[in-house]
Each structure stands twice: as structure tokens, then as C-alpha cells.
């Protein structure tokens, strides 16, 4: 049964953004490179936290409502390493949005449970940076679903530098969703430790942070940012 907290996101998945004649023809805006990374390590693997269903819903929302014909799409699954689930330029016939069968296939692949231990959160951001470097003619929108638990990430010391480089490119918006309010081994909340590790970049106006239980409240802010990114 779906959590009540997920219902607003579910509703937007089932109700696509209305299309205008210009958007149907693919003429309404410049292309974006949409990069979606989903971290399925740590507490994200625990069914009790409902992280996998939330990650699937946000991936489905982005693929259905934000990806348009002409956009480049990169999908990354983060476990003890980073796997590229898909990397393609989406061309919808007549400017159509991505089909629901493809959206379900991709979102299910992104949220397949990880095997083994370890975390590669920083490597996921590095992979997003590398993916973005392949497109020179599009602004980047990065969506990263993660609980933010860095203590078992061997590359965590490099996160501030990698994140800063990501923002230093043509990145328009970075949406980090799913951050956990749980206490980490050091006694601080996982979300606070993650935000502190980002340093000054966490205050960049292009960065949107959302906790694991406030996605429905923050997603509209992200959607508005993407709309502005296309202008």
C-alpha cells in the first residue's frame, strides 16, 4: 500500500503536464541533459523506509513530466559502484513525451536492490559530471536520489570538489532528494552531515535539497526550476 506521503507524487505521475501545440512539436524550448542517479545502498535498501518506492516515483515524475523530445537522458544506479542504466537522446515522435512502458522499465531498473556492501555516493556525482561533459549544447539538470549517508563512502573527501565542478559547468539545477533524518554513527543527522560535506555549494541557488519525507512538498519547486531552465 502506498504511503499517504507519496500520493501527491503519484498523482503527478499519472497526470502529465498539459501540452501546448508548440511543445508537442518540440519547438517550445532548448534541450536539456537530464541526469537521474538513484542510490540504493544503506537505508535505501531497507523496505521499512519506503525509499525504493519514493525513488521510483520521483524517477517516473521526471521522465514523464520533465523529459521532452530532443533532451539527452542519462540514468545511473548507485550501489558499491555506479552502473549506467541508460544514456540516450530522446526523440519522441511528433514531440511526444516518453511512453509509460519505457518509464516503468527504466524506473524499475534504477531501483533494483543493490547486492553487497559499500557506498558510492561521491562516485555517482562524479559520473553525473562526466555524463554532462559529453553534451556541449544543452544545460544539465541533475536529480540524485540518496539518503546521503557518507560515512561508508570511501571517496567522501572528494565530494566538495566534485560537486563544485558539477556546478561550475552548464548545470542549471541539482535536485538531491531522499536525504535521511536518521542519526549517523557520529550522532548527527545523515542529512546534516551530507549538507555540511557539500560546503558552500549547498547554498548555491541552483541546489535544491529534499528530505526523505518532504518530497511532495519540494518537487513543485524543482519542476518550476526546470521550467525556468528551458527559457
What homologous superfamily is domain 43-229 in, according to CATH? Answer: von Willebrand factor, type A domain (3.40.50.410)
| 121: DSSP letter | H
107 Rama class: left (phi>0) / alpha (psi -120 to 50) / beta: alpha
Q: Does residue 161 have a pLDDT over 70?
A: yes
Task: List phi, psi (to 5°) of 227.
Answer: -60, -40
C-alpha cell at 77: 544506479
pLDDT confidence bin for 17, thresholds 50/70/90: very low
Q: How high does pLDDT run on average in the chain?
A: 85
> 171 by DSSP, 3-state: which?
strand
Q: Are strands 171-179 and 207-211 parallel, antiparallel or unpaired?
A: parallel
Residues pairing with 39 in the sheet: 78
> 3 by DSSP, 3-state: which?
coil
* In the block, residue with C-alpha cell 558552500: 200
Q: What are the boundaries of each domain within the chain? A: 43-229
pLDDT tens digits for range 201-219: 999 999 999 998 888 899 9
Count of positions (residues) in the chain: 231
What confidence score (pLDDT) does residue 13 get?
Answer: 46
Q: Does residue 88 have a pLDDT over 50?
A: yes
Amino acid at each position: 500500500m502506498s504511503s499517504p506521503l507519496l500520493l501527491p507524487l503519484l498523482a503527478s505521475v499519472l497526470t502529465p503536464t498539459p501540452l501546448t501545440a508548440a511543445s508537442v512539436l518540440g519547438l517550445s524550448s532548448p534541450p536539456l541533459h537530464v541526469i537521474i542517479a538513484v542510490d540504493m545502498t544503506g537505508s535505501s535498501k531497507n523496505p521499512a523506509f519506503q525509499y525504493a518506492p519514493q525513488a521510483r516515483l520521483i524517477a517516473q515524475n521526471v521522465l514523464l513530466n520533465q523529459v521532452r523530445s530532443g533532451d539527452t537522458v542519462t540514468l545511473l544506479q548507485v550501489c558499491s559502484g555506479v552502473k549506467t542504466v541508460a544514456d540516450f537522446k530522446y526523440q519522441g515522435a511528433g514531440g511526444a513525451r516518453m511512453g509509460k512502458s519505457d518509464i516503468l522499465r527504466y524506473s524499475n531498473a534504477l531501483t533494483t536492490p543493490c547486492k553487497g556492501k559499500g557506498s558510492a555516493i561521491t562516485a555517482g556525482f562524479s559520473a553525473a559530471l562526466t555524463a554532462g561533459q559529453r553534451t556541449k549544447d544543452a544545460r544539465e539538470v541533475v536529480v540524485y536520489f540518496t539518503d546521503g549517508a557518507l560515512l561508508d563512502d570511501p571517496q567522501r573527501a572528494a565530494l566538495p570538489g566534485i560537486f563544485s565542478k558539477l556546478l561550475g559547468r552548464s548545470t542549471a539545477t541539482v535536485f538531491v532528494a531522499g536525504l535521511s533524518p536518521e542519526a549517523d554513527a557520529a550522532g548527527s543527522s545523515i542529512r546534516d552531515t551530507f549538507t555540511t560535506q557539500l560546503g558552500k555549494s549547498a547554498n548555491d541557488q541552483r541546489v535544491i535539497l529534499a528530505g526523505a519525507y518532504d518530497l511532495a512538498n519540494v518537487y513543485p519547486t524543482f519542476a518550476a526550476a526546470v521550467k525556468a531552465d528551458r527559457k
